[in-house]
Every structure is written in C-alpha cells, then in structure tokens.
Amino acid sequence: MKWQELDRENCSLARAMAVVGDRWTLLVLREAFLRVRRFDDFQERLGIARRVLTERLKHLVDHGVLEKVAYSQTPLRHEYRLTEKGLALYPVIISLVHWGDAYYAGKKGPPVLHRHQACGHDFRSVLTCSECGEALDPREVSPHAGPGARKGDWAERLTD
C-alpha cells in the first residue's frame, strides 16, 4: 500500500487518512475547531509555510471538510468554515487531543481543557456503543466483514 494510493483502498480508515492523515492537516483542523477561519490567522498560529497551508486548505475544501466563503468583496477575501462533514470529525480530533493529554501533557497537566456548555463541566472524551450506551473497551469489540467487503480484501478475512 502506497501513501498516494490510500484513497483507492477498500478500507474506510485508509480513505480517511488520505484526507486528514498528515500532521499539518490535523493541526489546521485543530485551529478550525478553535474557530480560526482566515488564512493569515491559520498561518500566524501554526507558523506553517504559506504554500503548505494553501495546499492543505485546498485539499480540505476539495474533500468537502471545509468550505471557502467570501467575507469581503473589495478586496475579495475568503475564510474557511467547517462543513457538516468537517464537524463530524470532532470526535476524532477531541479523542486525539485527550489521548495526547493522557500520555504527553507533562507534569502540570493538559494545556487546554474542554467544557461542555450545557452542563458547565470539563469533560474527557468517551467512546460509547450507539446501541446500549456502554463505554467501549477495544478488548470487547469484535470486527467482522461488512457489506462493502470484497472478495480477497483484508475485511473478508475477519470472522465473527
């Protein structure tokens, strides 16, 4: 499997990685979730080369994760907003942040906490079963081939 061919794999993770799988893209998304929208603000906060940022933003727009919206006509200026597809990445991003907090935050603790506005409490991400609501433990999950598995694919080799 080659990095440039991930989008052609019959694997949802590989296809997702083709869209969001490089470090700059994940950091651009972090900033988007922190409500950064304008090119110069992304560039200033990330310290990323303008060419690299331009490529990452275009890639996310091309894949429908961000949308480019004009906020000024004279001169023409755009900002980048998360789409519904982009907002759906929130559980992924917050889970990575909280994983980093657990294993890499340092002795003083996490640099940023996340507060649920509805209840007013800081929270930690927890993955739960959509059917019974219980917290999921990877040792208690069994993958099996889905309707998109193809003959000869790795997914076909999964057993119940």
At 138 the pLDDT is 92
The candidate with the shortest Cα–Cα distance to 98, out of 117, 73, 124, 121, is 124
**Which residue's structure tokens are 């057993």?**
159
Token pair of 93 as six digits: 């991003």
At 105 the pLDDT is 94
Q: Buried b / exposed e across 86-111, counting CB within 10 Å, b at 16+?
A: beebeeebbeebbeebeeeeeeeebe
pLDDT tens, 28-70? 999 999 999 999 999 999 999 999 999 999 999 999 999 999 9
The rounded radius of gyration (Å) of the Cα atoms in the chain is: 19
| All domains of the chain in start order, with CATH | 1-88 (1.10.10.10)
CB atoms within 10 A of CB 15: 14
